[in-house]
Amino acid sequence: MITATRLEAATAAVTVLSNRPEVTDWAQRYFGSWWNATDVGADTVSDADHAVIADVKLAAYEEITSLVHDGRPTEEVSYAKHSLLVARDGDDIMAASLEEEVAYRSTPSAGRLVLAGADVQPLALAASRLARESIRGQLLRDGWAVLHSSAVVRPDDGATLLTFGGKGAGKTTTAVLLASNGWQLLANDRVLVRPTGERDVEVVPWPSAAAVGLGLLHSLGWDATAREHLEAGGSFHPTQHESVTEALLAGEHAPLWNGVKQERKVQVFPDQFPDLFDLPLSTGGRAAGLLFPQVDADSTPDVSYGTRTLGEGDFMSGATEDRYPDVFGLARGVDGGGRESARAEVVSRLAELPHRAVRLSHDIPASAAVLCKVADSI
């Protein structure tokens, strides 16, 4: 039996189909209300629809993989932290990941991606990644851009605050604290934006697992809930490192680091924010202000002087920290951060909105109070 889940975001749509319900269930859970995920009949999907067809089928995986390795020119790329060998067959783009045991065949002109895998879990992850990339490709071609920003929405009027900064600046902390105090969480790391009307910038979410540090989880009082969830047989996103799970179960909240001094964090599914932590989600809004936080552990939280303007590094393109290069031709040549004209117009319009620099600390109540004061002034 073939199952199907349809995703819709702004002007884009794609349907995930599979011979295993676990694959479409994963897409349903991962994108949820953020991208209007709904179960549909497989027979309702037409040849004109954008589709990701992902089957657990060893013979098909081996067939595509053998074509990739049959001596034709190939390119090795890093995709979602996995090595991917990419080749062409006419207008089609083929790829194989031996590590994941997933093979791909993309027909960009038709908006179709065929995936075949040996095991359901890596296939489900790959299918959702490609469904998200299909949506992104459609939106980029339709004048949208991708900002490296967290975002929260005021439910009364859709006003959206965008938070910028490098790793460790406090983008996720800012979003989570505001969403715990009357706002709704739109995104924790990146958003899709488009100039609309005369001066507005429309914002929609980019669904992804959110990385929350053990210290922040403890400060928010969420660690007990997370531990109870694990003890009851639940789990977090499979990209979460085993040491983080062990720390949660042991009641430890000191930061954990990998060999390159990057913090290992709890990887929260989008649907776990409302279900586990009572944090409401939003499906879209209108940009109303920009926040530039900086975390200084021992400082007194406050509004700080000076801000910065947006630059190319604030867009998620291949030139920045983009883990998903468009190897399957889904954007058809449009830069991963959006067309230059779209990015320029977004920057111009956002420049007219209030900018606030905020100093945060590990004093969560004090940091939340400052953020709420700033947010209420915008």
Give the pLDDT score at 320: 59
Give the pLDDT score at 318: 61
Q: Where are the beta strands (DSSP E) in 276-345?
A: 285-295, 302-304
Q: What is the dihedral of CA 257, 263, 267, 270, to 10 degrees?
A: 180
Give the pLDDT score at 167: 77
Amino acid, single-letter form, for residue 91:
D
Q: Which residues of 23-37 are buried (b: 16+ CB within 10 A; e: fewer)?
A: bbbbbbbbbbebbeb
Give the pLDDT score at 12: 96
- How confident is the model over 214-232, as pLDDT tens digits? 999 998 999 999 999 999 9
Residue 159: Cβ within 10 Å count? 17
Class of residue 102 by CB neighbours under 10 A (exposed 0-12, middle 13-18, buried 19+): buried
Q: d(Cα 170, Cα 197) in Å, to the nearest integer?
A: 31
**Kind and range of the H or E run holding 85:** strand 82-89
Give the pLDDT score at 321: 59
Structure tokens at 205: 């979410």
Structure tokens at 35: 């991208």
**What secondary structure does DSSP assign to 246-266, as a single string?**
HHHHHT--S-EE-TTS-EE-E
Q: d(Cα 126, Cα 119) in Å, to the nearest integer?
A: 11
Give the pLDDT score at 240: 93
Q: Provide CB contacts within 8 A for 347, sequence distance 6+.
A: 309, 310
Q: Provide CB contacts within 8 A for 165, sequence distance 6+.
A: 171, 292, 293, 294
Give the pLDDT score at 322: 72
The percent of the chain in helix, strand and coil, each rounded to the nearest 5, is 30, 30, 35
Per-residue pLDDT of the chain (378 residues; tens, 9 = 90+): 999 999 999 999 999 999 999 999 999 998 988 999 999 999 999 999 999 999 999 999 999 999 999 999 999 999 988 999 999 999 999 999 999 999 999 999 999 999 999 999 999 999 999 999 999 999 999 999 999 999 999 999 999 999 998 877 889 999 999 999 999 999 988 999 999 998 999 999 999 888 999 999 998 999 999 999 999 999 999 889 999 999 999 999 998 998 767 889 999 998 899 999 999 999 999 999 999 998 887 788 888 876 778 888 898 876 655 788 999 999 999 999 999 999 999 999 999 999 999 999 888 899 999 999 999 988
Q: d(Cα 52, Cα 17) in Å, to the nearest integer?
A: 6
